[in-house]
A and B are shown apart, each in its own frame.
Chain A
Amino acid sequence: MPFCRARCAYCDFTSWAISRAETTPAAYEAGLERLLGGLSELGFLGHLETAYIGGGTPSVLGQSLTELVARVASTGDAPPEELTVEANPESATAELLRAVHAAGATRVSLGVQSLDDGVLALIGRLHTAEQALGAIQGASRAGLAPAADLMAGLPGEEGGALARHIECVIAAGATHVSVYPLEVHGGTALGRAVSQGKLVLPDEDAVADELEEAARTLEEHGFHRYEIASFARRQAQSAHNIGYWTGTPYLGLGTGAASMVPRALYERLREHIPSLPEAAASLERFRLTCVSPPAAIARAEGPCELAFEVEGLSARAALAEDLMLAVRRTRGIGPELSASAREHLGSPYERAVERLLDLELLEAHQDGSLRPSASAWLVSNELFGALWELAPDEPVNLA
């Protein structure tokens, strides 16, 4: 759902402010429903394990979000076990939360970011701290598992603010907390302010301190890290997100939405979507990004009209990608993946692992897994880089 009421100062995702969009969220939503119907009829959506309605800000749809949730929930042979809806606090009213739960949602992901109203205004958020805590409580009461996203590295938040915010969202009932360091991108309002010297952000050490303190606070409250940035109470991990890190195929619908499909599924999709290019036999995994603009989605009668950018990965590149994604998780590289990497990537893999063990970024566990060390989390790029480097052939962009 690539619409927001306003763009946040730091955001470089595909999203339009509603006032500037060429189409209305309602028309777009209707298009999405037709696409869901079409894919369903073609047999692609027989069994949905998880679903995620994200954005943008899906909650800008207001009550018609409920219809979309219901449509998703009724698409497969049974409702997905996990159905998350992303929402911004200002539009996540108690009423809406109850309605989406009734329609089949199990979880809501709330963009809280900070609980300092001054900071929220500075980064272009449209809600207050009070609204954010209210939304978490509302979700809890509605029977949804509330997940709260918070940011580290925000200006003026050095010195313990993030840890305090974490305690507040936990007290309000969040069962899942994600903590991301603020990323500054060129071409965003924030990027401009920083490059013009109008805004000074906390330095690397301050952000590292914040992130370390955040992790400590979460662990103290019974939240366990299961991925670099993701912490949850027992049973509250996001199965959908874990799918992204474990090579599980997924289909994304809508402008900018991403899909990952293995060869067989790609070939099946090609039978129905003529814009998908033919792929060399060596490619095993495909990453698709839907590039149809919102107006095209709103018009679309069926999936055959969609346009995509397609990237193909060889089996070996896909393996390197799996390794890179595996070390995002506390579970790390499991024995099976490790064995497969040794077999197909050979000695470069062995050497990379040896080096990462030597640098104390990885730890070998008795069960045969290789897990990121406690000190690795904040410098994970070193891990990702070393493992992705094993991709013998870069991904191929298909025309």
Chain B
Amino acid sequence: MIDADSLRIVPRMGDTAIIRAMPASAAQSIRIPRERIRNFSVVAHIDHGKSTISDRILEATHTIEDREMTSQVLDTMDIERERGITIKSNAVRLFYEADDGETYALNLIDTPGHVDFSYEVSRSLAACEGAVLVVDATQGVEAQTVSNALLAMNANLEIVVAINKIDLPSAEPERVKAEIEDVLALAADDAVLVSGKTGEGIHDLLEAIVALIPPPGGSDDAPLAALVVDSWFDAYRGVVAIVRVMEGSISLHDPLRLMASGAPFDAEELGFRQPREVPTKRLGAGEVGFLVTGLKDAALVHAGDTITNREGGVPVPLSGYREAKPMVFCGLFPVDTNDFEALRDALERLTLNDPSISFEPETSVALGFGFRVGFLGLLHMEVVKERLEREFDLDLVATAPSVDYHVHTTKGTVLEVKSPKDLPDPSSIAFIEEPILQATVIVPPDYVGAVMELTTEHRGVFENMVYLSERSVEMHWKVPLSELILDYFDQLKSRTKGYASLDYDVAGYREADLVKLDILLAGDPVDALSFIVPRERAQTMGHDLAVKLKEIIPRQLFEVPIQAVVGSRVVARTNVKARRKDVLAKCYGGDISRKRKLLEKQREGKKRMKSIGKVDVPQEAFMAILKVGE
């Protein structure tokens, strides 16, 4: 039964409001003894069905009534639902009455599902004793299946294998089981066969979770060590954290501190998310819940940090903490220069919830005042830009993504160059280093050649490869991050007909022979179109980029020459021809209003372009390098 009182709106700043219903019976903070708590995550390769399985679990435990069910409940942002990816971590407490007659508290800790967020995934897993590894019965083991399984094993988690999509005619559960055993060395005999679509096997999965995943350890009486799984800023309550109490317990109003940031605070509110918030007076060892810190600065509360008692407490923090470091940078400029302050406010507000975004002011001759913004990866960048435009109603020009180059000058200093236009004069550069990734590609053996060719073209250095099974090969590479953020991933997908999967991690810096490629429009350099490229590819990329820009830039009243230049050498040139016909020729009585509307539409289109000198440049031109292959 649901009554009106149990419907509540939980606002999360920057996110859409979450409207959730709870069965009245679950609306109080029921205390479940530790031996009947199970903390687990659901992990999977993208599109293997993590979110649907999570939804079915919520449904089967009556956490969400059928009529309140929206697809992918845990993905609360519009963008998460639309793109079918999880960006933020989330945690929800469910009650499950098992076949043994006992009621268990299951804490489902949802993890981001993209390689951009692998650190966040590792922090979520550290809060668990077990993980449900979802593997698509039609696809088998893929790159993130392997990386997620490894993350889970490294975190000493008990893994429950769920083979999903068994309702599909092309499902091959036996083959997939064998692959899991071969590749992951996991016993797959007990794998649970499920269908997120039909709900088949979900009961078995819940029983397996209860039976196989061990209850949390720890003691309520020990000094406090609580792991921050995620945090966000709430306009009314300050920073709210999702925490997993590893040792000790937190009581309401306890004086506490964060060990990495050093920030002191009091436990102003405590509770469980079921998924509506249910207050409690205490979070004991093994429990997962929310903690209102009252802190006003989200940068003080990072995922992975340890919360302990203000006085005394544990001597060393929980291991694995890392500061989230932006890896990909782009310029964000308001189309309307008057929106600069609004953009600053919006970025400040977004970073309240997402401290992994960095930003500093940037000035461009072409685009005016804006910011150089740092992100965890390309997806993160797209999502942030989309949120800025959608939630803060800004019209933005984004420049092509860049990485953080280390430029060693002849004077012996090292500059961090995150924007191509900041690259100093070549005469003052001793050498440049660029960030390198350790990339893992899993493909069927037939495509090894294609991957070799592609990755070598993208300056990848091959290390080794391992046959995971007869059907899949794992290749290890060192690849420059700058290649990955251009078109490597798209090309990898297309050249392997979608079979390849990719996973990566940061692997330091490597020297490279790089130059700055500049673009001149109508004779004037446009700084926002500059780019850092490998010297040997400067000519080709200059040509491709000039041709792409010719496609993107509409014909103007006059001819617009486009030149690609390295130093003073023109490596490619082309022209956008002058516009010759743009006229609404037929205009009699009834046409006048219609034609006026067309003109207004044209004007709107023009407004979205950036005037550089006399040339109107569409926003997508600044991302042209990403589209060169299309």
Instruction: Assess whether B580 is in contact with A381, with CB atoms less than 8 Å apart.
Output: no
Instruction: Assess whether B579 is in contact with A257, with CB atoms less than 8 Å apart.
Output: no
- Rounded to whole angstroms, the CA-CA distance of A260 and B580 in the bound complex is 32
- The answer to the question of B25 belonging to the interface, with a C-beta cut-off of 8 Å to chain A, is no
Find chain B residues with CB under 8 A from A245 CB. 587
Instruction: Assess whether A180 is in contact with B585, with CB atoms less than 8 Å apart.
Output: yes
Instruction: Assess whether B590 is in contact with A257, with CB atoms less than 8 Å apart.
Output: yes
Find chain A residues with CB under 8 A from B577 CB. 205
Instruction: Assess whether B593 is in contact with A289, with CB atoms less than 8 Å apart.
Output: yes
Name the one of B585, B593, B595 contacting A229, with C-beta atoms under 8 angstroms. B585
Name the one of A204, A287, A321, A325 contacting B580, with C-beta atoms under 8 angstroms. A204
CB contacts under 8 Å to A, within B569-626, are 577, 579-590, 592-593, 595-596, 599-600, 602-603, 606
| Closest residue of B by beta carbon distance from A212 | B580
- The answer to the question of A134 belonging to the interface, with a C-beta cut-off of 8 Å to chain B, is no
Instruction: Assess whether A395 is in contact with B590, with CB atoms less than 8 Å apart.
Output: no
Find chain B residues with CB under 8 A from A76 CB. none
- Rounded to whole angstroms, the CA-CA distance of A194 and B585 in the bound complex is 21
Instruction: Assess whether A377 is in contact with B583, with CB atoms less than 8 Å apart.
Output: yes
- Rounded to whole angstroms, the CA-CA distance of A204 and B576 in the bound complex is 13
Find chain B residues with CB under 8 A from A324 CB. 596, 599
- Rounded to whole angstroms, the CA-CA distance of A321 and B596 in the bound complex is 8
A204-B592 in contact given A325-B587, A359-B557, A394-B600 (Cβ < 8 Å): no
A381-B590 in contact given A204-B555, A321-B596, A359-B557 (Cβ < 8 Å): no
- Rounded to whole angstroms, the CA-CA distance of A394 and B604 in the bound complex is 13
Residue among A183, A259, A311, A378 with most chain B CB within 10 A: A378
| Closest residue of B by beta carbon distance from A381 | B582
Interface residue range, chain A: 35 or more
Find chain B residues with CB under 8 A from A102 CB. none
- The answer to the question of A385 belonging to the interface, with a C-beta cut-off of 8 Å to chain B, is yes
Name the one of A229, A250, A382 contacting B582, with C-beta atoms under 8 angstroms. A382
- Rounded to whole angstroms, the CA-CA distance of A396 and B584 in the bound complex is 22
Instruction: Assess whether A379 is in contact with B581, with CB atoms less than 8 Å apart.
Output: yes
- Rounded to whole angstroms, the CA-CA distance of A321 and B600 in the bound complex is 12
- Rounded to whole angstroms, the CA-CA distance of A380 and B595 in the bound complex is 12
A211-B581 in contact given A321-B596, A389-B603 (Cβ < 8 Å): yes
A378-B590 in contact given A321-B596, A389-B603, A395-B596 (Cβ < 8 Å): no
Using an 8 Å CB-CB cutoff, how does the interface string of A240-283 with B read, 1 for contact, 0 for none? 01001100001010001111100000000000000000000000
- The answer to the question of A44 belonging to the interface, with a C-beta cut-off of 8 Å to chain B, is no
Instruction: Assess whether A378 is in contact with B592, with CB atoms less than 8 Å apart.
Output: no
Instruction: Assess whether A207 is in contact with B581, with CB atoms less than 8 Å apart.
Output: yes
How far, in Å, is B606 (CB) from chain A's closest CB?
Answer: 8
Instruction: Assess whether A258 is in contact with B592, with CB atoms less than 8 Å apart.
Output: yes
Instruction: Assess whether A252 is in contact with B580, with CB atoms less than 8 Å apart.
Output: no
Instruction: Assess whether B596 is in contact with A378, with CB atoms less than 8 Å apart.
Output: no
- The answer to the question of A228 belonging to the interface, with a C-beta cut-off of 8 Å to chain B, is yes
| Closest residue of A by beta carbon distance from B587 | A328
Name the one of B557, B590, B592, B599 contacting A379, with C-beta atoms under 8 angstroms. B557
| Closest residue of A by beta carbon distance from B602 | A385
Find chain B residues with CB under 8 A from A258 CB. 589-590, 592-593
Instruction: Assess whether B599 is in contact with A384, with CB atoms less than 8 Å apart.
Output: yes
Main secondary structure of the interface of B (DSSP, over half): loop
A381-B587 in contact given A244-B592, A395-B593 (Cβ < 8 Å): no
Name the one of B583, B595, B599 contacting A181, with C-beta atoms under 8 angstroms. B583
Name the one of A241, A256, A388 contacting B588, with C-beta atoms under 8 angstroms. A241
- The answer to the question of A208 belonging to the interface, with a C-beta cut-off of 8 Å to chain B, is yes
Find chain B residues with CB under 8 A from A384 CB. 584, 595, 599
Using an 8 Å CB-CB cutoff, how does the interface string of A183-212 with B read, 1 for contact, 0 for none? 100000000000000000000110110010
Instruction: Assess whether B580 is in contact with A205, with CB atoms less than 8 Å apart.
Output: yes
Instruction: Assess whether A325 is in contact with B592, with CB atoms less than 8 Å apart.
Output: yes
How far, in Å, is B579 (CB) from chain A's closest CB?
Answer: 6
How far, in Å, is A221 (CB) from chain B's closest CB?
Answer: 20
Find chain B residues with CB under 8 A from A244 CB. 587-589, 592
Using an 8 Å CB-CB cutoff, how does the interface string of B100-120 with A read, 1 for contact, 0 for none? 000000000000000000000
- Rounded to whole angstroms, the CA-CA distance of A287 and B585 in the bound complex is 20
Find chain B residues with CB under 8 A from A311 CB. 593
How far, in Å, is A69 (CB) from chain B's closest CB?
Answer: 19
Interface residue range, chain B: 20 to 34
Find chain B residues with CB under 8 A from A179 CB. 585
Name the one of A181, A287, A361 contacting B593, with C-beta atoms under 8 angstroms. A287
Find chain B residues with CB under 8 A from A252 CB. 589-590
- Rounded to whole angstroms, the CA-CA distance of A377 and B580 in the bound complex is 10
- Rounded to whole angstroms, the CA-CA distance of A262 and B556 in the bound complex is 38
Instruction: Assess whether B584 is in contact with A381, with CB atoms less than 8 Å apart.
Output: yes
- Rounded to whole angstroms, the CA-CA distance of A258 and B587 in the bound complex is 12
A204-B593 in contact given A328-B587, A385-B602 (Cβ < 8 Å): no
Instruction: Assess whether A250 is in contact with B589, with CB atoms less than 8 Å apart.
Output: yes
How far, in Å, is B485 (CB) from chain A's closest CB?
Answer: 34
- Rounded to whole angstroms, the CA-CA distance of A191 and B531 in the bound complex is 40
Find chain A residues with CB under 8 A from B589 CB. 244, 250, 252, 257-260
Find chain A residues with CB under 8 A from B593 CB. 258, 287, 289, 311, 395
How far, in Å, is B574 (CB) from chain A's closest CB?
Answer: 16
Find chain B residues with CB under 8 A from A241 CB. 588
- Rounded to whole angstroms, the CA-CA distance of A360 and B221 in the bound complex is 85
| Closest residue of B by beta carbon distance from A387 | B599
Using an 8 Å CB-CB cutoff, how does the interface string of A152-180 with B read, 1 for contact, 0 for none? 00000000000000000000000000011
How far, in Å, is B603 (CB) from chain A's closest CB?
Answer: 6
Instruction: Assess whether B596 is in contact with A229, with CB atoms less than 8 Å apart.
Output: no
| Closest residue of B by beta carbon distance from A228 | B585
Instruction: Assess whether A382 is in contact with B557, with CB atoms less than 8 Å apart.
Output: yes
- Rounded to whole angstroms, the CA-CA distance of A259 and B583 in the bound complex is 24
- Rounded to whole angstroms, the CA-CA distance of A381 and B592 in the bound complex is 13
Instruction: Assess whether A228 is in contact with B588, with CB atoms less than 8 Å apart.
Output: no
How far, in Å, is B614 (CB) from chain A's closest CB?
Answer: 9
| Closest residue of B by beta carbon distance from A229 | B585
Instruction: Assess whether A380 is in contact with B583, with CB atoms less than 8 Å apart.
Output: yes
Find chain A residues with CB under 8 A from B555 CB. 204
Name the one of B585, B587, B599 contacting A385, with C-beta atoms under 8 angstroms. B599
CB contacts under 8 Å to B, within A42-71, are none
- Rounded to whole angstroms, the CA-CA distance of A258 and B586 in the bound complex is 15
CB contacts under 8 Å to B, within A297-334, are 311, 321, 324-325, 328
Using an 8 Å CB-CB cutoff, how does the interface string of A206-245 with B read, 1 for contact, 0 for none? 0110010000000000000000110000000000010011
Using an 8 Å CB-CB cutoff, how does the interface string of B196-237 with A read, 1 for contact, 0 for none? 000000000000000000000000000000000000000000
Instruction: Assess whether B583 is in contact with A321, with CB atoms less than 8 Å apart.
Output: no
Find chain A residues with CB under 8 A from B557 CB. 359, 361, 379, 382
How far, in Å, is A320 (CB) from chain B's closest CB?
Answer: 9
A204-B590 in contact given A384-B599, A389-B603 (Cβ < 8 Å): no
| Closest residue of B by beta carbon distance from A389 | B603
14 other A-B residue contacts (CB within 8 Å) besides A205-B577, A377-B583, A378-B583:
A179-B585, A180-B586, A207-B581, A208-B580, A229-B586, A252-B589, A252-B590, A257-B590, A321-B592, A321-B596, A325-B587, A380-B584, A381-B583, A381-B602
Listed A/B pairs (19) with beta-carbon separation below 8 Å: A180-B586, A181-B583, A228-B585, A229-B586, A244-B587, A244-B589, A244-B592, A252-B589, A257-B589, A258-B589, A259-B589, A325-B592, A359-B557, A379-B581, A380-B583, A381-B602, A385-B599, A388-B596, A389-B603
The chain A residues found within 8 Å of chain B, CB to CB, are 179-181, 183, 204-205, 207-208, 211, 228-229, 241, 244-245, 250, 252, 256-260, 287, 289, 311, 321, 324-325, 328, 359, 361, 377-382, 384-385, 388-389, 394-395
- 3 cross-chain pairs, A with B, having the tightest CB-CB distances, nearest first: A208-B580, A258-B590, A258-B589
